[in-house]
Amino acid sequence: MGLGEYRKKRDLKKSSEPGGGESSKNIFVVQKHDATNLHYDFRLKMGDVLKSWAIPKGPSLNPSEKRLAIETEDHPIDYAEFEGKISEGNYGAGSVLLWDKGEYENLKDSMFQSYEDGKIEIELHGKKLKGRFGLIKLKNSKKNWLLIKAKDEFSSKKNVLKNEKSVKTGKEIEEID
Ligand code: MN
């Protein structure tokens, strides 16, 4: 997989989104995306791309709240810094807020194997999301996964989504321009 599908869907000159460039450490980001339907884009750096899932209800720190995560096209690594407005008429038009960002640790042997097997186990070191998470692909589904918080010292029944501000700018979604 590469960035072909990502680029195909966008006119990058018009949409102001990154086109794909350099890489860095094992990072993850969550971008709150006020598109046609509000969702949270969960992205994990794997190799030269950000593997991406759209989570309609957003992530949860509560292990009993399994959140549907729909796999979307790989994004370029530099998308991890993106916050801004995708203008009308472009794919995914609407505001993107950098809701969380940090490093992650793979808890298994190989991320690529975990991805292929549909069973990713990671520990997140974000500002909002911390601790162990599983990302489990649903059987007989091409794109549907579940994001599940594992029980640890960071699991909580508090609604983490109430912390709405950007970790990059401190803005709320209405303030993004
Ligand atoms: Mn999105």
Give residue 4's pLDDT. 77
Could you give the residue ranges of the DSSP H alpha helices within the chain? 4-8, 12-15, 111-117
What would the mean pLDDT of 56-61 be, rounded to a whole number?
98
* Both structure tokens of 78: 């530099």
* Both structure tokens of 106: 């793979």
The CA-atom distances, in angstroms, between 149 and each of 124, 146, 154 are 10, 10, 9
What would the mean pLDDT of 169-173 be, rounded to a whole number?
96
The Å distance, Cα 82 to ligand 1 centre, comes to 12
Which of these, 47, 5, 51, lies nearest to 28 by C-alpha position? 51
pLDDT at 80 over 80: yes
The Å distance, Cα 112 to ligand 1 centre, comes to 23
pLDDT at 24 over 50: no
The Å distance, Cα 54 to ligand 1 centre, comes to 6
Q: Which DSSP state fits 128? A: S
Give residue 3's pLDDT. 80
The Å distance, Cα 152 to ligand 1 centre, comes to 29
Residue 124 near residue 145, CB atoms below 8 Å: no
The Å distance, Cα 33 to ligand 1 centre, comes to 5
Instruction: Report d(CA 116, CA 151) in Å as an integer.
Output: 24
Q: 25-51, pLDDT tens digit by residue? A: 699 999 999 999 999 999 999 999 999
The Å distance, Cα 12 to ligand 1 centre, comes to 15
What would the mean pLDDT of 110-120 be, rounded to a whole number?
95
What would the mean pLDDT of 114-140 be, rounded to a whole number?
97
Give residue 23's pLDDT. 40
Residues facing residue 128 across a β-bridge: none
The Å distance, Cα 68 to ligand 1 centre, comes to 14
Note the pTM of the prediction, 2 decimals.
0.88
The Å distance, Cα 57 to ligand 1 centre, comes to 12
